[in-house]
Amino acid sequence: MAKQWHQTKSKYGNKPVTIDGTKYDSTGEGTRMGYLKLLERAGEIKDLQYHKKFELIPQITEDVVVHLKTKDKIVKKVVQRARYYEADYTYTKVSTGEEVVEDFKGVVTPLFEFKAALFRYKYGKEIKIVKHINEPI
């Protein structure tokens, strides 16, 4: 009997797509990028970036003594890696100079709400949640 391979369904029904050589997590996310690129060409936004990382929690290290043959040496050991929030898009509104951090969401999960709260605490601004492709900036 031959094995059948099938693509597993995404938890929230999104379908990954590649547009102009860039992979997006969903068709909506890719289409939103196309809309934002149009706004950038029109001069309404600038500095458009996709998947920019923001550190939420820094890496934690501790000193550890390593015993060598002739002496002891103190080295740094990572006990917790840094944690990041990766924004779908970031851009600057030309009219106001405001940097916008945007996330295209079909479903707002508790994990996202937690990351958004940490982001607001650390960076002093909210993440703009977008649910429609051509939602105004």
User: What number of residues does the chain have?
Assistant: 137
Q: So what's the pLDDT on residue 119?
A: 98
Q: So what's the pLDDT on residue 116?
A: 97
pTM for this predicted structure: 0.79
- H or E segment to which residue 67 belongs: strand 60-67
Separation of alpha carbons 93 and 95, rounded Å: 6
Domain boundaries, the chain: 17-130
Per-residue pLDDT of 23-71, as tens digits, reads 988 888 999 999 999 999 999 999 999 999 999 999 999 999 888 888 8
Separation of alpha carbons 113 and 22, rounded Å: 27
Per-residue pLDDT of 36-48, as tens digits, reads 999 999 999 999 9
